[in-house]
Structure 1
């Protein structure tokens, strides 16, 4: 009798167990569906609105708010559709690459706009249909037609700039590479930078005098009849390069929407010829930098990183510093050069450092180069850097010394007002020379 009861109990348990598991599963599914239906995403406040932004641009895209493998497709915006497809191809869950790191990063890749489309830069590649494309401004149409191009021939390069045998200072690599975006005709700006804050060589810090080796390069595209009425300055540029050896030029149209290419192509050059540089400054040729003070700041950051590295396994330095803008919306005013049509990009921008100058670690520059292969080009270069940082799971750090919107007007002529400044935007060549003289002899009472 006891045996029979025991058998009946086991049989009853075996029958009830699947029913109980099925019941729990049904409850879990019902709760999940209820949560998904009733969930309301948090409202994000806009801390900064780009000049000329439309008041109606309040719908946020998935890009800044969700992981990069999110499968939700944004409708009617060309860049979002293309990036969505690219994100799916690099989805670590779908590809089995759970680390999220690009496989074989040394292998050259051509950015695909549609599966099976591997265009060269002279051919036009197809892209998702979007309503309103015919109404895009000409510069946006030109950008879209060539945004699959990432490789351009080098016209002028500096392969030996960072080599030890090219330096009499017996230093292995530069402490700081200053990559300045310029144009062919801006010789005065480049020369003013060479004579002041952008001098190549061993530069002392302002406070501790430690300093470091600085190498400056100017990033140029091609400026000719295809970009507007320009005089032919190719011969003068060649003479300038022979004299100073600091020009990097590539064979693409030097336009505002192509500034992003200067970042991509500089990263390629940097990886090949200067990968051991500790820091990179990327800026425009109309900013003024207190290079000695910047070196003081960077030496402090490097010392702290080495101390941190000694107690942890963290070898990568994630420094990216500038004037950070959060939750900015695209400029929807057609009359401005920053105009981004709603049919091209939908949503808010990720956090980015803008306004003419940022500084980041050399190791991060190499990772930005790799991750840029899975982020479609965007016509605003500062925003594109923010997108690449976002893909790395990083955010730019704000530094109050980066005055990209300038000092108050009443303080601009006062030398003491620049005591805590690392970068100020904008300055003409003459103003750079004047400001440089001021800062060599700051009054003791500052």
Structure 2
């Protein structure tokens, strides 16, 4: 009898074993799913708080810190809510749930924005953020009320800038410089020095390239006694390098200059190999930059020939890169971003004084910008677009958007390894240009 029970016990164990193993597996799967859902990425230490000097990019990992599509709604800040809707709307997996994403991000904005059709958010809903808007500054409220607008007509256009005898040119470098209506002296100093349009020789006269220069402007409320509009028209007729759109030229609207320039670039100058985007108070050693870009283009062509990938563009983006910057919460600064508008750490971006990127990347930026909600700080917005593309900006020590040490600024030879320095007045640009040309043989051996 005991022996029979013992045998039945073994048989029972053998019968129950598959069920026990299945049960353990089911528990493991449930625990794994729960851990995945509740997982929060570790907090990233802040290496730099903008604005200020950049961190050492060599110590940072060369890959995006965040996922391409952000599927979770982080906090309730306005920009985060709008971008969350964009991310869900353009996620190919979740595209079927687009209506749900829109409902989650319905924002009631200023009625004046109703006529502006957004590329991201297809409709305005009933969720009110009136209290948050009241607490914002006048500058931020003005931006929010028009941040869905991306279509502005030209006041002055230059459709033939990159054409020669009705044939599309291939400039090595297109210089797109953000300026304002009244900055006549800045533009003229740039034309006379580092932004001269035409063939530019390299630093050692070995090789050069075709450079085209264009200035990006909005419109400003000028003094009735001033004749800025007439002067700008005459300037455009004389030099043919003014691009002006019909939007108010404010600090928070600098982002529009990037978005509208990319559209202009695609239509009128898509063959430019590289683009410089900068302010009209920087100084660029154009001959050294031309040498650098020729080398990058030659290496890219050699790589294409070796890999036989002739259809793949060059994703080059260089500048003074800032990592893990937090929004500035000081209301007294022009960089102030309230928590009700944006929450989180900025993606890696380059200081807005000046950056260089490839023409093929400019075309990709134009496309991806339609899927990124406008942000009031232009260099941060550019970093957001790069993050969506999975492109990491490369730090270059020659881009000094926060200037040289004060003890070195008067020494021309201190500029030996500099490609760009910020800031310089028109008079300082001309003086520095002459000093560097006269001292070339002594300083740049």
Provide TM-score, normalisation by structure 2: 0.84
Alpha-carbon distance in structure 1 between the residues aligned to 2:279 and 2:146: 24
Aligned match for 2:234, one of 239, 244, 253: 239
3-state SS of the aligned residue for 2:370?
Answer: helix
C-alpha RMSD of matched pairs (Å): 2.9
Alpha-carbon distance in structure 1 between the residues aligned to 2:166 and 2:435: 33
Deviating above 6 A after TM superposition, structure 1's stretches of 4 or more consecutive aligned residues are 13-19, 115-118
Alpha-carbon distance in structure 2 between the residues aligned to 1:36 and 1:179: 45
Q: Look up the match of 1:257.
A: 252
Q: Is the 8 A contact 1:224 1:232 kept in 2?
A: no
Alpha-carbon distance in structure 1 between the residues aligned to 2:397 and 2:419: 9
Deviation, structure 1 residue 40: 5.8
1:281-323 CA deviation, whole Å, 9 max, x = no partner?
Answer: 0000000000000000000000110111112227110100000
The answer to whether residue 332 in structure 2 is matched with residue 331 in structure 1 is: no
3-state SS of the aligned residue for 2:245?
Answer: strand
Residues 14 and 238 of structure 1: CA distance in aligned 2, closer, same or farther (over 3 Å): farther
Q: Look up the match of 1:27.
A: 28
Deviation, structure 1 residue 72: 1.3
The answer to whether residue 48 in structure 2 is matched with residue 45 in structure 1 is: no
Residues 229 and 263 of structure 1: CA distance in aligned 2, closer, same or farther (over 3 Å): farther
Alpha-carbon distance in structure 2 between the residues aligned to 1:163 and 1:366: 18
Q: Is the 8 A contact 1:351 1:386 kept in 2?
A: yes
Note the residue ranges of structure 2 that are not aligned, 5 or more in a row.
1-13, 53-63, 97-104
Residues 428 and 68 of structure 1: CA distance in aligned 2, closer, same or farther (over 3 Å): same
The answer to whether residue 216 in structure 2 is matched with residue 219 in structure 1 is: yes
Aligned match for 2:277, one of 271, 278, 282: 282
The answer to whether residue 378 in structure 2 is matched with residue 377 in structure 1 is: no
Q: Look up the match of 2:266.
A: 271
Q: Look up the match of 2:77.
A: 77
Aligned match for 1:322, one of 315, 319, 322: 319
Residues 29 and 150 of structure 1: CA distance in aligned 2, closer, same or farther (over 3 Å): same
Q: State the number of aligned residues.
A: 404
1:46-88 CA deviation, whole Å, 9 max, x = no partner?
Answer: 1111259xxxxxxxxxxx8532423211223110011001111
Residues 229 and 403 of structure 1: CA distance in aligned 2, closer, same or farther (over 3 Å): farther
Alpha-carbon distance in structure 2 between the residues aligned to 1:320 and 1:224: 35
Alpha-carbon distance in structure 1 between the residues aligned to 2:134 and 2:107: 24
The answer to whether residue 128 in structure 2 is matched with residue 129 in structure 1 is: yes
Q: Look up the match of 1:295.
A: 290
Aligned match for 1:193, one of 190, 193, 196: 190
The answer to whether residue 243 in structure 2 is matched with residue 248 in structure 1 is: yes
3-state SS of the aligned residue for 1:177?
Answer: strand
Q: Look up the match of 1:397.
A: 394
Deviation, structure 1 residue 22: 6.1
Alpha-carbon distance in structure 1 between the residues aligned to 2:406 and 2:380: 27
Residues 69 and 197 of structure 1: CA distance in aligned 2, closer, same or farther (over 3 Å): same
3-state SS of the aligned residue for 1:315?
Answer: coil
3-state SS of the aligned residue for 2:165?
Answer: helix
Residues 308 and 230 of structure 1: CA distance in aligned 2, closer, same or farther (over 3 Å): farther
Q: Look up the match of 2:7.
A: none
Q: Is the 8 A contact 2:108 2:127 kept in 1?
A: no
Alpha-carbon distance in structure 1 between the residues aligned to 2:436 and 2:353: 21
1:161-185 CA deviation, whole Å, 9 max, x = no partner?
Answer: 1113268xxx831111000000000
Deviation, structure 1 residue 442: 1.6
Deviation, structure 1 residue 248: 0.3
Alpha-carbon distance in structure 2 between the residues aligned to 1:298 and 1:128: 49
Note the residue ranges of structure 1 that are not aligned, 5 or more in a row.
1-12, 53-63, 97-112
The answer to whether residue 403 in structure 2 is matched with residue 406 in structure 1 is: yes
Alpha-carbon distance in structure 2 between the residues aligned to 1:341 and 1:200: 41
Q: Is the 8 A contact 1:223 1:230 kept in 2?
A: no
